[in-house]
Structure 1
Amino acid sequence: MLSPGPANLVCLVLASRYGLRQTAWFQMGIVLIYALVGFALAVTATQLGSVFQNAAVFLQVAGGAFIVYLGVRFMVSSPKLGESDSAPTFKSGVLLQMLNPKYPPVVLAILAARSESNNLATVGVVVSVGALGLITYACVGSLVYRWTLDDRYLRWFNIAFGCLLCAVGVWMASGVAGR
């Protein structure tokens, strides 16, 4: 939950561009999906064994492709701040997390490793740690926020963060993340 996955990296990137406060709604959208998916998996974990294995490949490829799309979008976008450059929304946070191929397998692995504990309580801890990870990455991103206010640096940050997101997306879509 604290690794540099798509949700954490996007929070870092967006906080570097918009600041910590402007990314709060985006992060809340991600946390909502953390909770909904996590609790759904906790309730149905025993029935998902064979079905999820088949869906995991599709989720991994589609989610990885979406993360690459986000990376390319960051690399090629070069808006000057204030020119039709709107802050991330709750809806975009929900969409990002719905297409995140990393989260469901992580939750299932944690549930499988803690078979003697209460699944709902375990997922509550996972959601809390995930939210802490988002905040941590956004705080790190906000440290470079002042530099991204200068158009000279913004373009280079967009390219660097875009490449980072593309690398994570390719890594996920290729199946390396699931091994």
Structure 2
Amino acid sequence: MNITSFLLYCFIVTCTPGPTNIDILSTVHNQGTKKGMEYTYGATIAFGLLLAISAMLNTMLITVIPKILIVMQIIGSIYMLYLAYQIYRMDSSKPTVKQTGTFKSGFLLQFLNPKVVTFTMTVFPSFILPYYTAMSALTISVIIITLIGFSAFIIWVLFGTIFKKFLQKHEKIVNVIMALFLVYAAIMIWM
């Protein structure tokens, strides 16, 4: 397993804008850092739970239907390219859906977030299961990826707190850079 590609992939996908990261940024912007952190804790716990469920499901699917890996890689790559396009087109001047910034809302959003579900279902067959199938290796992978996700969420909290005015001023450039990172992550699935 190429550890560098795996870590880079996890970092890029969890750090690029998606519903959770945008909600974190919005919560920090509208309700402050404390509420942003509360939301982040809920999102992190749900993210780890989704990773654990995904590890189990993928292990079963790979043994029952070995060709599922290719299908999941294709679906994941296409969705990430779609997200990259949406980020490129994003206009923050339009009103966003109001959220409450609570632990519960952070937790629940993860189960409704297609970016997270796609990521959790593709990271194992793309990077881990071809090399490791032992429960201990999958458990360590879940913990590592959860910590990477938590780090990404914290980055968004800090980013929103520190660079609020800069982000508003250079929104299009930031969106293009984030979109390019997602395109790169979609390509990494095939390498």
Cα displacement string for residues 15-57 of structure 1 (whole angstroms, at most 9, x for unaligned residues): 5552333322233333232121111112333233223213421
* Per-residue deviation, 1:133: 0.5
Deviation, structure 1 residue 77: 0.8
Query: What does residue range 81-160 of structure 1 map to in structure 2 within 5 Å?
Result: 85-86=98-99, 87=101, 89-94=106-111, 95=113, 96-100=115-119, 103-108=120-125, 109-114=127-132, 118=134, 120-148=135-163, 152-156=165-169, 158-160=171-173
TM-score by length of 2: 0.66
- What does residue 62 of structure 1 align with? 79
Unaligned runs of 5+ in 1: none
Letter in 1 for 2:38: R
Instruction: Give the unaligned 5+ runs of structure 2.
Output: 1-5, 29-35
When the two chains are superposed, the root-mean-square deviation of aligned CA atoms in Å is 3.2
TM-score of the pair, normalised by structure 1: 0.70
1:89 and 1:163, CA in 2 relative to 1: closer, same or farther beyond 3 A?
Answer: farther
1: distance between equivalents of 2:85 and 2:107? 21
Question: Whole-Å Cα distance in 2 between the matches of residues 68 and 99 of structure 1?
Answer: 16
Partner of 2:58: 41
- Displacement of 1:166 in angstroms is 1.2
Give the number of aligned pairs: 167
Decide whether aligned partners of structure 1 residues 177 and 15 sit closer, same or farther in structure 2, where only a CA change above 3 A counts. same
Inter-CA distance 26–98: structure 2 relative to 1 (3 Å threshold): same
Distance in 2 between residues matched to 1:161 and 1:20, nearest whole Å: 23
